[in-house]
Homo-oligomer: A and B are copies of this chain.
Amino acid sequence: MPESTAKKPSRIQRRNRRVILDAALEVFSKHGYRGATLDQIAAEAGLSKPNILYYFNGKEDIHVTLLSQLMETWLDPLVELDPDGDPRREILDYVERKLTMSRELPRESRLFANEILQGAPRIEPELKRHLKPLFDEKCTVIAGWVAAGKLPPLDPQHLIFSIWATTQHYADFEAQAQILLGPETDPRPRAQAHLQAMFGALLDLPEPSANG
């Protein structure tokens, strides 16, 4: 195996690891941790099963690696929320970034949802170490905006929860949306308009006509 003491992971090693992780994301997000098998991951990656286990220490190692890598990408839209920007614009832009992410990275969203749904057994330390401080920081920012009279009175924590819930819904519950709306249409353009109107109303914004 590639030892932790190995100084130089070769180009082919890094490439194969990426191929395996991408295949694993596909399989884990579709079937959950327990429902995924190394056979499926190996087939998806175009590699043999023992070869998978040459690059990773086991099924759980792959899963944890995926979740850890996901963390940074996942927090990024919230990191970008600017304390010095216009409060209502910042929040509505955050909604848009989250919805875009749920369209472009639905597998990541479902991987994350699967893990939380089962009690976050493997990602809990990462959440406490990275998500919690960021969440608290941004809640303080929003509370400051409210205190300064730049926003109407609202609950920062539950506002963020509402944004997460509504935007990730379109990735996590895609199967249900397809049954109810039909498989043809991508619901996200209309979802975008609806969410901008809803959060805009909460933030006491007049109708947003365009946003960037």
Contacts and interface: CB of A to CB of B under 8 A. Distances in A.
B117 A172 contact: yes
25 contacts: A30-B119, A32-B32, A32-B114, A32-B117, A33-B35, A34-B34, A34-B35, A35-B35, A35-B118, A113-B117, A114-B117, A117-B173, A124-B179, A131-B179, A131-B180, A155-B193, A157-B190, A158-B194, A161-B170, A162-B169, A162-B198, A165-B166, A165-B173, A201-B201, A201-B204
Given A162-B195, A162-B198, A198-B162, A157 B181 contact: yes
Given A166-B166, A198-B198, 15 more contacts: A30-B118, A34-B35, A113-B173, A116-B175, A116-B176, A120-B175, A127-B179, A128-B179, A154-B194, A154-B197, A157-B190, A158-B191, A159-B194, A161-B170, A162-B194
Q: How many A residues are at the interface, by size bracket? A: 35 or more
A136 to B, nearest CB: 8
Given A175-B124, A179-B131, A155 B194 contact: yes
B169 A165 contact: yes
- For the residues of A in contact with B, the DSSP-based class is helix
